[in-house]
Structure 1
Amino acid sequence: MPRHIFKFAAGLIFAAALPAAAQENLCGGTGDNGQWIGGDAINSDITTAPDYMEQMALVLLRNEYVSLFTVSAGTEVRIEAAGRGNGDTIIDVRNETGEIILSDDDSGGMGASRGELFLDPGTYCVSMSSYDGSPLTGFVRVGRMEHEALTQGFDSEPMMGGEACTADTPAMDLSGDVVAQDITAINTIDGTPFYRFTLAVDAPITLTAENPDADPVLTLYDNDGNLLAENDDFDGLNSRIDMQTALPAGTYCVGLRALSDAFQPVTLTIKGYDAAEVLNTLYARGEASPPLDGSYPVTSLGVIASRIRQDAQVTGETSWFAVEVEEAGLLLIEAIAQGNGDPVLVLFDDLGREIAYNDDFGSGLDSQVTARVQRGTYMIGVRQLDETVQGFIRILAERFVPAQ
């Protein structure tokens, strides 16, 4: 069957040349620059679509492409993304409020992304990005379960697990009050692919599955077997689900499947959702800049008059440095490994906006960014690409002013 490609887009660069989303604050703002998968809202209803809908997108460095669709009645939907060549896609699916209800990396097989879930009536946004931040040309496809799939899916992959969990599915019962105390279990996915737990009261929760050697995919179901959320590779090859909206009291099932070795022990943790802990995780991953109120470690490098040099012992968690710029100009920042190391460099402004990112500038492993800056405070984040590496990184910051 031929592909139905409704439009070609180039991430944030060429999106302005395409029909806009026509509404504001779609999916919590994520969809404001998105593109309707059927050309407009009326023709993007998956419930009534005669066939799957698909878009082709060029995602530039560290950007994402957002596709919009609607569901007019409760519908089982398959959402997929696949890159051309060696492209490795990641998808996040958000509901109207912006809550991520599905996140996936490799469930489509061969680096493609895939998720299948029941959706209530509403508007949804699919964000496609590249796993390593590199430019990517790929396809986003949304359809019902009877429509042709874009990806191979699990059935063609040599992985363990992957079935839905219902009330009749054999599962290991986990006792304890998730809200009051973390619940942890360590087993192989081959031996224990499903767990069941009960919430005594309505509560938001967090689930994690950890062991990179297994590369676990984490899924959460209600007691009727409806898929509530799925994640792969939230932190490296480990998975995490944050249910920020309180789940109703009741019984739930956790499913695990292995994209790698199903005979490796995987640590499953279920705990109450902690917004502060989630923020600290973002700071440690370099995906958000921390505040300067002393609640998170930040090294002040002071006012940058012309040049600042700082050596720091850096791990896989981002180390943060603050510099003060007293007048408009250009900042050039380098992260140079002292011995073994592969530094990743990120720069945020004082409003918490990422304005520059780099890994492997030029032909080496060191990083470098440049950015036009105004008067204010800027946050420099440095981490090792390999989380197992710890070593010294030399940070060089230089300020240039316009010629008079």
Structure 2
Amino acid sequence: MARRSLFQPAALSFLLLGIAAPAFAQDLCGGTGAGGQWIGGNESSSDITTADNFREQMALVLGGNDYVALFTLSAATDVRLEAAGRGAGDPMIDLLHADGRLILSDDDSGGNAAARAETSLDAGTYCMAMRSYDGGPMTAFVRIGRQDHAPLTEGISLQGDPGTSGTCSEAMPIGPLGSSVTGSAFDTPYWSFTLDSPTAVTITAMNESADPVITLFDAAENYIAENDDYDGLNSRIDMTEPLGAGTYCIALDALSDDSAPITLTVSAYNPQAALLAVYDRGDAAPPLDGTVPVTELGLVSTRIRQDVNASASASWFTIDVDTPGLLVLEAIGNASADPVLVIFDDLGREIGRNDDYGNGLDSLIAARVDAGTYVVGVWKYGEGLGLIRLLIERYVPAQ
């Protein structure tokens, strides 16, 4: 399908990852802002609240790195964030507050493997991080604008797919907050819930075999939010800003099997649980304060091997490097386990991520590092446990 308005010179710039970050960005968004670029070219042009048009860049993502766009809002604003890969590119996006809080994530809500999210944000500075779904190289267009600006993507809800209009009159009540229901998207495509007072909520749809998509509407069937593939193929919407009292409806769709049972849950938003879920997915490094279990592997003098009884939640390790050099990390799956590997520095800046290196399912990262402590995460796709062998090797420059 042809893309609309991909090249609009007034709003488009090109970015190759690796350009030095503004000094102030090193600690922005919990370290994610390191390497970030103002979406409008500079801070003043990146205020989406006052921008005369959307802001857009074309980014080349290499070696499992993230592209990070920085933008500001001078007042509370309804914004739209999008990423559309060229060719077979499949981008994923995260939106983070300046203090490091994850606000939302999305994979395929733009349609045609593009990412898209629409939300209301308060005044402040934000980071939008984009990466390739499979960890491979990718060229993608990134656009940030207000909801009255032209969109980059079609959006799932604009493509005529079943289950993407907010027909609250047909919705089945879920029950009070904390309730769960199970049913197929074919049998029950609409669900509703009612809030007695303003409340921040979390909505999840679980069953990877179905590949669910959820879309939230208010009682007047106005679109609020949408998500696909937040955690694997499961979906989740976190409304961190309270929704007003009233009735809301959820359109439920399944991209793989609309007859498969999907467990839908609506609960009060729990910031701590949401943060722990970010660590479980490997989207950010956990703090080294005991909040999340982290195994110390010690100094990497030449080679460390560690067997991991891995699940879909990341297992975390720390390693120490005493001199600058090259780290090579491999995650080798046994019995068809499909591992994913990520490494952060001690400030939480991601320096490498990989899935499916070469023609197999194993993962590999090679990264130049300075002396310091590094945090390594490894997990596997799919349910259940699987044995993954983690190999860490250190190389020093020739004298």
- Once the two structures are TM-superposed, the CA of residue 174 in structure 1 deviates from its matched residue by 2.7
Distance in 1 separating the partners of 2:316 and 2:46: 46
1:398/1:196 Cα in 2 relative to 1: closer, same or farther (>3 Å)? same
Aligned-partner residue type, residue 313 of structure 1? N
Give SS of 1:10's match.
strand
Letter in 1 for 2:207: N
1:231-380 to 2 correspondences below 5 Å: 231-380=227-376
Alignment of 1:173-192 (within 5 A): 173-176=173-176, 178=177, 182-192=178-188
> Which of 52, 58, 61 is the matching residue for 2:60?
58
Q: Following the alignment from structure 1 to structure 2, what is the Cα–Cα distance between the partners of residues 106 and 360?
A: 20
Percent of counterpart pairs with the same letter? Answer: 47
- Residues 160, 259 of structure 1: 8 Å contact kept: no
What's 2:90 paired with? 88
Secondary structure of the 2:170 match is coil
CA contact (8 A) 1:90 1:129 kept: yes
Which deviates the most, 200-209 or 65-74? Answer: 65-74
1:34 to 28, 35, 38: 38
Partner amino acid for 1:62? N
CA gap 1:114/1:169 in 2 versus in 1, 3 angstroms: farther
**Aligned positions, number:** 391
Q: 2:391 aligns with which of 396, 399, 402?
A: 396
For structure 2, the 5+ residue unaligned runs are: none
Aligned-pair distance for 1:28?
9.4
Measure how far apart 1:235 and its partner are: 0.6
- The SS at the match of 1:270 is strand
CA drift of 1:183 comes to: 1.0
SS in 2 for 1:41: helix
The residue type paired with residue 63 of structure 1 is D
* Alpha-carbon distance between aligned partners in 2 of 1:323 and 1:96, rounded to the nearest angstrom: 28
For residue 365 of structure 2, give the secondary structure of its aligned residue in structure 1.
Answer: strand
Do the aligned residues in 2 keep the contact of 1:47 with 1:73 (CA within 8 Å)? Answer: no
TM-score, L = length of structure 2: 0.77
Alpha-carbon distance, 1:298 to partner: 2.7
- Describe the SS at the equivalent of 2:193: strand
Equivalent pair of 1:343/1:383 in contact (CA under 8 Å): yes
Q: Residues 53-83 of structure 1: CA distance to partner in whole angstroms, max 9, x if unpaired?
A: 75433333332253758799987x7664432
Maintained 8 Å contact 1:335/1:393:
yes
SS of the aligned residue for 2:283 comes to coil
Aligned CA RMSD, in angstroms, stands at 4.2
Question: What letter corresponds to residue 67 of structure 2 in structure 1?
Answer: E
**Once structures 1 and 2 are overlaid, which stretch shifts more, 276-285 or 388-397?**
388-397
AA at the equivalent of 2:312: G
